[in-house]
Amino acid sequence: MVLTKETGFIDHERIYNYLANTKPPEKKEVEEILAHARELKGISFEETEKLLLVEDNELLEEIFQTANYIKNEIYGKRLVLFAPLYVSNLCNNDCAYCGFRVSNRKLKRATLTVEQVKKEVEELVSEGHKRVLLVSGEGLGETALDYTVRCIDAIYSVKKGNGEIRRINVNIAPLSVDGFKKLKAAKIGTYQLFQETYHYPTYKKVHPRGPKSDYLYHLTAMDRAFQAGIDDVGVGILFGLYDYKFEILALLQHIKHLEKEFGLGPHTISVPRIEPANGAPLSFEPPYPVSDRDFKKIIALLRITVPYTGIILSTRETPEMRREAFSLGVSQISAGSRTNPGGYTAKEAGEQFSLGDHRSIDEVIYDISKMGYLPSFCTACYRLGRTGLDFMDLAKPGLIKLYCLPNAITTFKEYLVDYASEKTKKVGEKLIEKMLKEIPSEKVREKTIKYLKTIENGERDVYL
């Protein structure tokens, strides 16, 4: 691999050459790769590189069907739900696509106090949320890490009714190894950071100033997080900035690098597409817009390549697109989201971008339950220390259905008892009946039914 001082382990030349000189694979070869994929062990990155070039509609349909098969076999109908919690929209960077960019003088800026954070969390908890993604701009300088840790403590401290937040994932600017150690000590779930674009010239263009303009420091964030002992990391690409084929090939190089150095790839991959953001002209006309068809291809390819890695879709997508994405491999979604600090309790500070889905969590849950998908608020793995490689050991088709399915059922039951509207309750109870039948062991099914009774009797937070 050619390493350069600017681009690190992302070998741009190799990607340019591959895209310029490789023909799409023949039908026979595609079908061989898809047969391999159906063994549920993932396919080689060389095989993914080939599938990426498929443009033929019939073959694409076969790719979608394979992704759907893998999603069903491994995850069943579970969908994990979370809410983003924006704590500060101050930022010293000037990302061309983001409403928080420093040059957006019109944005009303705010950094929540610890008390305000608690208020936001009370609201989220009383809607039924159990997982949040803490999000922040990069404007607090040296105080940022201490502030983040105080926010995390505040979030975990809130108890309201029968609820509390049980897992906090974090999406903040990259840290040093020591910084990541502090973040780990604060008991975070996943550390998320998106490279946005792996294409160096584009990266430099859309990040003209501020700490984020350092491509290599951003790229190597996950190395430092792993070195600090954080073993669940989430990567992502902001689709629309550059050619999606380049981005996927580079993402594969990133994953390969992490696997080689640390024996472990990312826990999740996020797939945002650029949404219009006031004060960020580029966001209204992304240079490389990704069509719905290509977006579906991206999700399907990721599901086929890394079957045990979570794929996260945010509120940014419309309900219609989300529906299709679930069937292709998305395993986590946000619901009832606001992208401005204080957005759950007030509406004063400016938002980061506009949302494609404006529904409340109850509406989202009603909708996905009606489609036959099982909303899950499970946080068991992280709390039992099943992270990193331990999680990967669990991530086998049979085992996921033995642990994750019962835990999805019990956490959904908690939601139905404590927070759901009457119409959601009705659909939800029926869904639970149906899902119980899918638990592959009689013993575990009985245990789950027992747990459901204890929840009806007032007990909470029971899991396998």
Q: Which residues bind ligand SAM (CB under 6 A)?
A: 97-98, 100, 135, 137-138, 171-173, 193-194, 196, 238, 272, 274-275, 277, 280, 283, 316, 352-353
Given ligand SF4, ligand SAM, none, residue 272, with its beta carbon under 5 to 8 Å by kind, binds ligand SAM
**For the stretch 312-331, what's the b/e string if a residue is b when 16 or more beta carbons lie within 10 angstroms of its beta carbon?**
bbbbbbeeebbeebbbbbbb
233: closest CA among 259, 261, 267, 256?
Answer: 267
Taking the complex as a whole, how short is the minimal distance between the CB of residue 13 and ligand SAM, in angstroms? 26
Taking the complex as a whole, how short is the minimal distance between the CB of residue 270 and ligand SAM, in angstroms? 8
101 near ligand SF4 (CB under 6 A): yes
Taking the complex as a whole, how short is the minimal distance between the CB of residue 241 and ligand SAM, in angstroms? 9
The length of the chain in residues reads: 464
Which CA distances in Å does 258 have to 214, 242, 265, 294, 371?
Answer: 20, 23, 6, 26, 36
Nearer to ligand SF4, 139 or 163 (CB): 139
147 near ligand SF4 (CB under 6 A): no
Taking the complex as a whole, how short is the minimal distance between the CB of residue 192 and ligand SF4, in angstroms? 12
Stretch that binds ligand SF4, among 53-61, 95-103, 182-190, 362-370 (CB under 6 A): 95-103
Site string for ligand SF4, 118-137 (x = CB under 6 A): -------------------x
Taking the complex as a whole, how short is the minimal distance between the CB of residue 134 and ligand SF4, in angstroms? 13
What is the separation, in whole angstroms, between the first and last Cα of the chain?
44
Other CB atoms within a 10 A radius of the CB of residue 13 amount to 11
DSSP three-state, residue 92 = coil
Taking the complex as a whole, how short is the minimal distance between the CB of residue 313 and ligand SAM, in angstroms? 12
Stretch that binds ligand SF4, among 87-95, 226-234, 363-371, 411-419 (CB under 6 A): 87-95
Nearer to ligand SAM, 100 or 419 (CB): 100
Exactly one of 10, 34, 59, 98 binds ligand SF4 (CB under 6 A); which one?
Answer: 98
Exactly one of 129, 130, 199, 212 binds ligand SF4 (CB under 6 A); which one?
Answer: 212
Strand ranges inside 41-147, DSSP E: 78-88, 131-136
Taking the complex as a whole, how short is the minimal distance between the CB of residue 359 and ligand SAM, in angstroms? 18
91 near ligand SF4 (CB under 6 A): yes
458: left (phi over 0), alpha (psi -120 to 50) or beta: left
CA–CA dist 383, 397 (Å, integer):
21
Taking the complex as a whole, how short is the minimal distance between the CB of residue 324 and ligand SF4, in angstroms? 27
266: closest CA among 312, 215, 316, 213?
Answer: 312
364 near ligand SF4 (CB under 6 A): no
User: What are the φ and ψ backbone dihedral angles of 349, each rounded to 5 degrees?
Assistant: -75, 155
CA–CA dist 287, 364 (Å, integer):
31
Given ligand SF4, ligand SAM, none, residue 9, with its beta carbon under 5 to 8 Å by kind, binds none
Stretch that binds ligand SF4, among 46-54, 89-97, 263-271, 310-318 (CB under 6 A): 89-97
Taking the complex as a whole, how short is the minimal distance between the CB of residue 117 and ligand SF4, in angstroms? 17
Helical residues (DSSP H) of 94-174, grouped into ranges: 114-127, 144-157
Nearer to ligand SAM, 240 or 406 (CB): 240
Given ligand SAM, ligand SF4, none, residue 101, with its beta carbon under 5 to 8 Å by kind, binds ligand SF4
DSSP 8-state secondary structure symbol assigned to residue 169: E
Other CB atoms within a 10 A radius of the CB of residue 188 amount to 23
The amino acid at residue 170 is V
Q: 265 and 223 in contact (C-beta within 8 Å)? A: no
CA–CA dist 279, 108 (Å, integer):
11
User: What are the φ and ψ backbone dihedral angles of 270, each rounded to 5 degrees?
Assistant: -100, 145
Nearer to ligand SF4, 225 or 280 (CB): 280
> What are 169's strand-pairing partners?
133
Given ligand SAM, ligand SF4, none, residue 67, with its beta carbon under 5 to 8 Å by kind, binds none
Taking the complex as a whole, how short is the minimal distance between the CB of residue 351 and ligand SAM, in angstroms? 10
The residues of the shown chain that bind ligand SF4, judged by CB under 6 A, are 91, 93, 95, 98, 100-101, 137-138, 212
